[in-house]
Structure 1
Amino acid sequence: MVVLDCGTKLTVLERTVPQQFIFDCPECDTVVTVGTEIRTEILEHGCVLCETAVSADAFSQPEKHQRR
């Protein structure tokens, strides 16, 4: 949230932050941060390096990520 003080008027602006995920490939150990669109592509087509099919379990939130 950004607050701008314009004299006597305060304006609050909400910033949209794209959702981020940590992708941790269970096969080749690739670990990379991706956005929602790339997450969808990996779920549909597999790991970009080894092409292993993956499930949603291969993704975690950055603040909750623990290396396997």
Structure 2
Amino acid sequence: KLGYSVFYMSMTPVTRGHYEWTFTKICQDASTMTPHSIMQEYYNLLQADLDRHPENYLWSHKRWK
């Protein structure tokens, strides 16, 4: 609606207390995409992160134990 850029951010632990941050641009101008398509791209990037590093996902929810 406002034409802002949308980014996906992922964080990977490198060593104890140190992390590598990666920013991936989803779109330059959010007004050119539907909210659904932005969320779908976000979900795809999140799923790819989980596939690469499943150990980094927060599995503390009771349902997953």
Q: Which structure is higher in helix share? A: 2
Which structure: larger Rg? 1
TM-score higher than 0.5: no
- Shorter-chain TM-score bucket reads 0.3 to 0.5
- TM-score by length of structure 2 reads 0.32
